[in-house]
Structure 1
Amino acid sequence: MSSRLVHSMVAVDSGVPGSAGASAASAPAPLPSAPERAVHRTYHGDSPQGEPSPEIELEQMPSSKSTTAFAGAGSQPGSSSESGSTAAVTLGKNTATVAVTETGIGPDLEGSRPPSSMHTHDGVEVVAMQSMTDPYMNRFRLLATCLVNFGNGMNDSAPGALLPAMMTHYNMGSAVISLIFIGNALGFITAALFVDWTRHRLGQAKTMALAQLIMTVGYIPMVCTAPFPYIVASFFLLGFGMGYNLAMGNVWCGQLSNSTTALGFMHGSYGIGGTIGPIIATTIVSIAGAVWSRYYFITLGLTVISGLVAWFCFRDVERERGSVQAQHPSYESEARRHANVGLNGVWTNRVVILGAIFIFAYQGAEVSISGWVISFLLAEREGDKTSIGYVTAGFWAGITIGRFLLSAPAHRWGEKKFVCLAVLGATVFELIVWFIPNLIGNAVAVSIVGLLLGPVYPCAVAIFMRDVSKDEQVGGMGVISAFGSSGGALAPFTTGILAQAHGAFVLHPIAIGLFGVMMVCWFSLPRKAKRTE
């Protein structure tokens, strides 16, 4: 203790009037300065002291307009009003990350998922994360996203059934007719360069409507049975539009609290379209005897309808985001910063690069199996040509069932662990198809391969969205989608060339090799603590 402080606390009185001691005693003693305020900070995830961040339990919030009761905000350690604190806020079954500031609780702007709505209680603002059912309009937005992907599935699965009719109509071989797949892949790659820029300038609703408009333009030469070069250009436009709507759908579903389930519905709808598309195409060409291009009248009408529905359902998303920005200026400045980033960091992001290779291998294996397993069964198992085509439908049905029924359990169990086991299981059943000479057993095994592969895509996208920052999500998903489409074009093309030279059995080592690439990428992803938002 300093002598000055001791002197201020103890006055020495000599007892002699007029002495120096008396003068010192009569003068007011200076008070000691107050110590600096102790600031209690909490941290998201594991704190430096190894203590978990506190959770503030909130009552169930039925809608985004309701007022949430903030239980014990003043007494909870996580409700400290000091700048820099964060806490995990539980809204019923959903958990959102919030940042505690001088004026209350605001969004955790460094997390990967943006806030959806604000609620106040006793002057404290709580930003809740959206789910598939809250706000209520999200139910219809998810339906619109599923409708868009249903059309994508019908578009992608039909060429396999229509290629023989196309080759006959244009009098071309398989090597030239396969240019439609190259055009489709180039469309996806081009879309990856512009989707982030377009979304920041037009917004969610207009970007999705633009994607469907581009696909509509692409379908016009096809329904008119235009010369083949125009058909290749049409597939380019279809790939461009699908690259846009796939990236936008993945990002929107990935930002929900129950993202894995939402992505399962979204990609499950793609599987439904992939299942019924070849059946309808085969019926039109084989049974009705119509020109191959008549099939695309169905996809054209579906694209127009889904574009209007998507615009209507997502038209208020920007207004909702603007309402949050108006109430929380710090979020507005952060969102503006994200809007100016674009693709600057996407091409060097480790998660994006590994995710792109992973989806490249996944879609390459998926399309190769669905496209060439029939040729293998005909050549090696002497299948019946009149019924063997249903094996492909069984494969896509397995993918669809897997995405609808296994995506939610995979989220509860853990996406990373589930993907590892699913890919290993798919490898085992692919080996069964390769080495066990039983036609019925092979058909069942192919369906199980589809069942196990189905939820892999939505689980992987959920992980990529979780590990990529907000400013790289749209551009990153555009790159990943583009690589996936490239895999879906290059892998079956390579399989076809090797099958012509060595036999259809090459499908299986190629598929198993792609499964191995998926596992290497999966284990190479950076390890991050699981977020509680």
Structure 2
Amino acid sequence: MTTFLLIIIYLAFISLGLPDSLLGAAWPIMQSDLRAPLETAGFLFMTIAGGTIISSLISGKVLRKFGTGKVTFVSVFMTACALLGFHFAPSVIWLYVCAIPLGLGAGAVDSGLNDYVATHYKAHHMSWLHCFWGVGATFGPIIMAQFISVQHSWRNGYFAISGIQFSLVIILLLTLPLWNIVTKVNTNSKKEEPVNHNERAKDVKPLQIKGVKLALASFLFYCGVESTVGLWGSSFLVNIKELPAAQAAQWVSLYYGGITIGRFITGFITFKIGNRTLIRLGQIIALVGAAFLFLPLPSIFSLVGFIMIGLGLAPIFPCMLHETPTRFGKQHSQTIMGYQMAVAYTGSTFIPPLLGFIASHSTIGILPICIVIFVAAMLLSSENLNRLIKKKSIIKRNDTSSTAV
């Protein structure tokens, strides 16, 4: 029964990933069709991500009141309706209107399912959960590219994705009772854990804990990189590398494919290699991939760069989430996790539109330079955090030894 519910959760995370990559893949043709300036995509993206931040911040109260199953059902229904609205939208104004429920629904699903899997399932499922987000994010541009190349219609692409979302809504509706059953089973088998954890969490002031700000910076730059490449990658390929819009959308789908495959593999590698090592390796690979975009090489190297960035980013986010209790203690992890998700969404909200605004007044060719800077900043924050934690652990060991003597 718990396995069947896990499959439902994975399907929900596919639906979470499907809309995330659509706007960037479709924007080159949407821009000309709607006669909108380049930076409009950034502001639409900001609207979606802003809704995501709001819903993630209030998700704790909503989840406690209604339960994860009901919140997930309503949230996916909201995203399905929003995507259908994109199909019918007669102007950019209506896209902004539809972007609000799209963001609100996505934030509630993300926060609720991350917390549910962390609470009720083993650690390696976190990597696989985010792998299934990558499945959705990969197939989104593929579906959109098919409609653009065959029908020259971005609207039908949104209609198709909306239909997939509505199918999941039906599945979630039929399986609503399953959530309560599994929750009761797991609660009965873990009677001791909730009390102490929540009591201690009330007194925590997360920003005063050493290293938290560095962790938040890592999440900020990670989501800045991931969302910026997804949103502006297609425009970069069309305007700088002079690729057709459909081919550019397919290449961006391979970037998300790199994230997907990487996270699937990471789920197995975590049994052998620690989170910190995987985070470091991922950042280095992403940096090399960004360099391929930066250097004046033939277009095919841009494809290699996109895939390498995707593979590099793959282990970073789930491993950083899973590393939170180890870094700051289990009694603090719940509170700090919320801060990390909020800052992550902030990176998704503001960094891509900022780059779009700058690019509209210069050139989208600045994308590779910005990606290199963001990945380097993430690596620097992460390594400084590792050094700080190592120093704290040495001091703690020495204090323990002194007490023992």
TM range (shorter): 0.7 to 0.9
Q: Find the counterpart in structure 2 of residue 248 from structure 1.
A: 112
| Pairing 1:367–2:227 present | yes
Which gives a bigger RCO, structure 1 or 2 (Cα 8 Å, sep 6+)?
2
What's 1:192 paired with?
A: 56
Partner residue, 2:145: 282
1:293-308 matches, within 5 Å, as 293-305=158-170, 307-308=172-173
| 2:188 is the counterpart of 1:323 | yes
* CA contact 2:214–2:381 (8 Å) conserved in 1: yes
CA distance in 2, matches of 1:375, 1:285: 15
State the match for 2:282 in structure 1: 422
Preserved CA contact (<8 Å) 1:191 1:478: no
- Aligned match of 1:393: 253
Structure 1 partner of 2:311? 451
Q: 1:502 to 1:449 in 2, by over 3 A?
A: same
Determine which of 126, 129, 140 is the counterpart of 1:263.
Answer: 126
Distance 1:337 1:383 in 2: 56
DSSP-derived class of the 1:282 partner? helix
Structure 2 counterpart of 1:144: 8
Counterpart for residue 403 of structure 2: none
Spell out structure 1 runs of 4+ moving beyond 6 A: none
State the Cα deviation string for residues 288-347 of structure 1 (Å, max 9, x = none).
Answer: 35561524432431441453366344222432255357xx5x657547747x94x97456
Amino acid at match of 1:435: L
Question: What secondary structure, in the 3-state scheme, does the structure 2 residue paired with 1:412 have?
Answer: coil
In structure 2, the CA distance between the partners of 1:144 and 1:467, relative to structure 1 (3 Å rule), is: farther
User: Is the 1:196–1:475 contact (alpha carbons within 8 Å) kept by the matching residues of 2?
Assistant: no
Task: Give runs of aligned pairs for residues 404-443 of structure 1, distance below 5 A.
Answer: 404-443=264-303
Kindly report which structure 2 residues correspond to 1:228-247, keeping only aligned pairs within 5 A, or say none.
228-247=92-111
CA deviations 1:109-140 (Å, max 9, x no partner) are xxxxxxxxxxxxxxxxxxxxxxxxxxxx3322
Tell me, in whole angstroms, the C-alpha distance in 1 between the residues paired with 2:232 and 2:263.
22
Q: CA deviation at 1:397?
A: 1.3
How many pairs were matched up? 387
Q: Which residue of 2 aligns with 1:461?
A: 321
1:343-377 CA-to-partner distances (Å, cap 9, x unmatched) read: 97456566664444322211211222233344444
Quote the offset at 1:455 in angstroms: 1.6
Structure 1's unaligned 5+ residue stretches are 1-136
Indicate how the Cα distance of structure 1 residues 166 and 202 shifts in structure 2: closer, same or farther if over 3 A, else same.
same
209 and 375 in structure 1: CA distance in 2 versus 1, 3 angstrom threshold: closer
Change in CA separation of 1:306 and 1:513 when aligned onto 2, cut-off 3 Å = farther
Q: Label 1:244 to 1:404 Cα distance change in 2 as closer, same or farther (>3 A).
A: same
Structure-2 separation of matches of 1:315 and 1:271:
27
Task: Write the letter of the residue equivalent to 1:408.
Answer: F
Report the CA distance shift for 1:281/1:220 in structure 2 as closer, same or farther (over 3 A): closer
**Shift in CA distance, 499/408, structure 1 to aligned 2, threshold 3 Å:** same
* CA-CA distance at 1:264 after TM superposition: 1.7
Which residue of 352, 356, 362 corresponds with 1:492? 352
Identity %: 20
2-side partners of 1:378 and 1:331: how far apart? 53
Show structure 2 runs of 5+ residues with no match: 394-405
2:397 maps to what in 1? none
Return the letter of the residue paired with 2:181.
D
Q: CA shift at 1:465, angstroms?
A: 4.5
Gap change, CA 1:507 and 1:281, over 3 Å in 2 = same
CA deviation profile, 1:86-122 (whole Å, cap 9, x unmatched): xxxxxxxxxxxxxxxxxxxxxxxxxxxxxxxxxxxxx
Bigger CA radius of gyration: 1
Residue of structure 2 in register with 1:202 after alignment: 66
The AA in structure 2 aligned to 1:151 is S
Q: Residue 437 of structure 1: SS of its match in structure 2? A: coil
Deviation digits for residues 201-244 of structure 1 (CA, Å, limit 9, x no counterpart): 33333333343344345445445436544432322222222212
Aligned mates of 2:30, 2:246 — CA distance in 1: 20
Provide Cα deviations, 1:406-459, integer angstroms capped at 9, x if missing partner. Answer: 332145211101211221122123213322513223322321221121121111
- TM-score normalised according to structure 2 size: 0.82
2:282–2:316 contact (8 Å) kept in structure 1: yes
SS of residue paired to 1:446: helix
Q: Which has the higher strand share?
A: 1
